[in-house]
Amino acid sequence: MSEPRKLEVLRAIVEDYVHSREPVGSKALVERHHLGVSSATIRNDMAALEEEGLITAPHTSSGRIPTDKGYRLFVNQLASVKPLSAAERRAISVLLDGPTDLDDVLERTVRTLAQLTNQVAVVQYPRTTAATVRHIEFVSLAAHQVLVVLILASGKVEQNVIDIGAAVDDDILAGLRKVFMASLNGLTVAQLPSAVSKVPLDVPLGEHAVAARLAQGLALLAHNAREDRIVMAGTANLARSNNDFPLSIGPVLDALEEQVVLLRLLEAMAQDSLGMSVVIGRENPHDSLAEASVVATSYVRGENAKLGVVGPTRMDYPNTMASVRAVAQYLSRILAG
């Protein structure tokens, strides 16, 4: 029994099953793929593959389907990265048009990725822990209400309306702004909370209370800025791809709404040599994603932000990986400006 052919059989099984969604048998295999041997030989190979836990039979004497382990071996060793079609490249490149506002770009990115892969796409916002303070603004709105704005060097803007105890003059706010800026300009978001708490000591006694409230507001903004966020699109694809199979789409939607789960997962995903991460089925720590796979990669050189798709374990890994990688590359290019 030849080892290379056995792997070839595994590849054929994965490809056929992904394509047909039905267990694939030895006979169909020799017909569709020109392996130079008979179905009996394939059967022997399949028995061996099953022995190794790479494929399994839903019921005695039915075709085989890949196991998580089988998919794993497939993506690790057997999948060749397919180049994208012209149409796909074109679809991605419409991303390049339009404004470069971060929200906007990520929104369009996630939609494109969802459309391209016919799966649920997720894009994590670039992390801002290391971003430095570029600008602070206090704007009085209604009585007692002040809008606190924090602008980072990365271009990210965080804001919040806070209630200061008393009416405050615009000039005083402007003065306080200068004091805050003098202390905080250039600090990272991570450093901000501790630094900001010392500022109120530097202001005149009469403005002390207001300054304390403002400091509190800024600390909150810093906290928000560090919080990771994701955008998502294509949940309808999930329903579509599973409407023939009565697969459990509910749990997956649940997990997707619990963004924390996804964020942790993306965080924990180890990248292979090409920078791609793939988590298959029960490799995933979270039960609700036991029948789902995640394909992700990071998208800004050096920084830790990720993007990817979530789909059924039975997905077209080569194409999906190619799409994810291509979109990540385009996005990196755009954000690099």
Does 20 contact DNA by CB under 7 A? no
Q: Which partner from the list a copy of itself, DNA, none does 130 bind, CB cut-off 5 to 8 Å by kind?
A: none
154/132 Cα distance (integer angstroms): 8
The reply on whether position 26 binds DNA by CB under 7 A is yes
Q: Which does 177 bind (CB under 5 to 8 A by kind): DNA, a copy of itself, none?
A: none
As a three-state string, the secondary structure of 8-32 is: HHHHHHHHHHHHHCCCECHHHHHHH
Burial class (CB in 10 A: 0-12, 13-18, 19+), 8: middle
Selected from 28, 35, 48, 147, the binder of a copy of itself by CB under 8 A is 147
Decide: 258 and 122 in contact? Cβ < 8 Å.
no
Decide if residue 259 touches a copy of itself (CB under 8 A). no
**Per CB under 8 A, which of residues 225..244 are in contact with a copy of itself?**
233-236, 238-240, 243
Characterize the bridge pairing of strands 55-56 and 230-233.
unpaired
Strand, coil or helix: 285: coil
Q: Which is nearer to DNA, 26 or 323 (CB)?
A: 26
Instruction: Show the DSSP H helices in 21-73 as ranges.
Output: 26-32, 39-51, 68-73
| Helix (H/G/I), strand (E/B), else coil: 163 | strand
Pick from 21, 89, 90, 135: which binds a copy of itself (CB under 8 A)?
135
89 sits in which H/E element: helix 86-93
In the complex with a copy of itself, the residue whose CB is nearer, 1 or 141, is 141
For residue 336, with 0-12 CB atoms within 10 Å meaning exposed, 13-18 middle and 19 or more buried, which class applies?
Answer: exposed
Residue 115 binds a copy of itself, judged by CB under 8 A: no
25 binds, among a copy of itself, DNA, none (CB under 5 to 8 A by kind): DNA
What region, left, alpha or beta, does residue 243 occupy, with left being phi > 0 and alpha being psi -120 to 50 degrees? alpha
Which one of 7, 57, 139, 181 is in contact with DNA (CB under 7 A)? 57
**Angstrom distance (rounded) from CA 294 to CA 20:** 21
Which of 236, 199, 228 is closest to 114 using CA atoms?
236
Lookup: tokens for 227 = 């919080």
- Which member of 160, 183, 197, 304 binds a copy of itself (CB under 8 A)? 160
Under rule CB under 8 A, how many of the chain's residues touch a copy of itself? Answer: 41
Q: Which partner, a copy of itself, DNA, none, binds residue 151 by CB below 5 to 8 Å per kind?
A: a copy of itself
Binder of DNA out of 38, 76, 129, 271 (CB under 7 A): 38
- Residues at the site binding DNA, with contacts judged by CB under 7 A: 1-2, 5, 23-28, 36-41, 43-44, 46-47, 50, 57, 59-64
- Residues at the site binding a copy of itself, with contacts judged by CB under 8 A: 99-102, 134-135, 137, 139, 141-142, 145, 147, 149, 151, 153-155, 157, 159-163, 220, 224, 233-236, 238-240, 243, 246, 249-250, 253-254, 256-257, 337
